Structure 1
Amino acid sequence: MNDYYDEVANNRLSLIRKTIIENQNVKLIVSYDQTLTEMMLNYFSSTIETVSTWNFNHEQYTLYKITLGNERSILMLSTPFFGNGRISYNGIRNVARRIINEGWIVL
């Protein structure tokens, strides 16, 4: 397992950062991996703030706002792991409705 994180996790963070920078249309990142969420929180520690935290079916969700240097911001949603009795399709629907209804993302 450590080999996976040594080879893949750091590269994954680099790819995500590059994608955010190069694609102005990125508005939301969904992370169901606690390790990636921690890496993102650490990397963007000076420009990230918690927007909202809530529970759905006993699972916790946290929405963060990351402010980028060019007066642009994106949202990052931390969710439980998908499958294995954790986040479900109903959970995804609930999150999408909440993000849209609260006006955090305008379609």
Structure 2
Amino acid sequence: MQVIVESKNLEVTKAIREFAEKQARKLSKLSGRITRIRLFLETIPKKRNDPHANTVTYEVEVPGKNVVITSKAVDMYEAIVAATNTAARRMRKQFEKKITKRRSKIEEE
């Protein structure tokens, strides 16, 4: 699994990169079929305590349908954690949907 961290209007420090990669690796526990996770970090420098100042966009590439999540928060770390949790929920839901479809096909036959 490849983790790519990109940014706009923000210098990605080693600490932010490691934190983002650590959070992204949590998703690999849900599905071993994830090929790439791309994180796009964006900040608006003029807005200090605005809840939309920091934006994190996750793009999880899996065979079939890719999952794209956007999260906004005051703090960049909060935005990364929120996006990771949302991505985990979506991946779990997508995985359960796929299993349910398989089971229903077997029961029909």
Fold match by TM threshold 0.5 = no
TM-score when scaled to structure 1?
0.30
